[in-house]
Amino acid sequence: RKEVEQDPGPFNVPEGATVAFNCTYSNSASQSFFWYRQDCRKEPKLLMSVYSSGNEDGRFTAQLNRASQYISLLIRDSKLSDSATYLCVVNIPGGNNAGNMLTFGGGTRLMVKP
Amino acid sequence: EPEVTQTPSHQVTQMGQEVILRCVPISNHLYFYWYRQILGQKVEFLVSFYNNEISEKSEIFDDQFSVERPDGSNFTLKIRSTKLEDSAMYFCASRRTSGSREQYFGPGTRLTVT
């Protein structure tokens, strides 16, 4: 079973649409959760951290369900510039808490069309 | 805004050669990481580094690889006796403190082994 699983897409949506991505993770010891975005052949860029209570940053809303080991990202009013791959990322701390390796999902590709 | 920087942006080397990839983490960050991404695949953790020693390493990070912080600013990844399958994007990342989980990525070095 994959550690972090995402629908690879692509999701093709018109400008202004609302789109939702889902992600599941297998390791119940996971402590921190993130969404990163990655443009083609570029580095992952932190979009937002995901908190248990859910959090919002402008047009972006992230939710976490620890019981179901499920993370979601909602993008409202999609812009052309939102076109990218969205990476679901989970942090499993090391034994001495200094490691904190990130485990990445394969990403969900979003294409926003005019 | 401070950024992680990496050099070179692209490195071409012949099989069997040694390469050193360089990173300058964000200046007040204490935790450093290397990840790699083979073309078309997900980002994979290689190694984490804190207080001048390796905190954690993945199965990928075998004796062929080593990391070093030779001075107060640089963080390097050395790959000895490169193989064709080492061709990938190598990303350096840094994190500020133990209380902060977010990791920030550099632009990457694209390594091509011929």
Q: What is the pLDDT of residues B13-30, one digit of tens each?
A: 999 999 999 999 999 899
Chain A contact present for B60, CB below 8 A: no
Which stretches of chain B score pLDDT less than 70?
98
Interface of A with B (CB under 8 A): 31-32, 34, 41-46, 49, 87, 91, 94, 96-107
d(CA B26, CA B73): 9
Q: Given this model, what pLDDT does residue B73 score? A: 87
Q: Give the range among A1-10, A55-64, B84-93 with minimum mean pLDDT.
A: A1-10
* Chain B residue with minimum CA distance to A91: B101
d(CA B26, CA B45): 19
d(CA A14, CA A112): 5
- Average pLDDT rounded to a whole number, residues A86-109: 83
What percent of chain A stands above pLDDT 70?
A: 92
Residues of chain B neighbouring A52 (CB-CB closer than 8 A):
none
User: Which residue would you say has higher pLDDT here, A96 or A108?
Assistant: A108
* Contact by Cβ (8 Å): A29, A100: no
Diameter over CA atoms, chain A: 49
Q: Given this model, what pLDDT does residue A1 score? A: 62
* Contact by Cβ (8 Å): B27, B73: yes
Chain A contact present for B75, CB below 8 A: no
- Average pLDDT rounded to a whole number, residues A5-16: 96
Residues of chain B neighbouring A43 (CB-CB closer than 8 A):
91, 105-108
The beta-carbon neighbor of B55 closest among A46, A99, A106 is: A99
Residues of chain B neighbouring A44 (CB-CB closer than 8 A):
43, 91, 105
Q: What is the pLDDT of residues B31-41, one digit of tens each?
A: 999 999 999 99
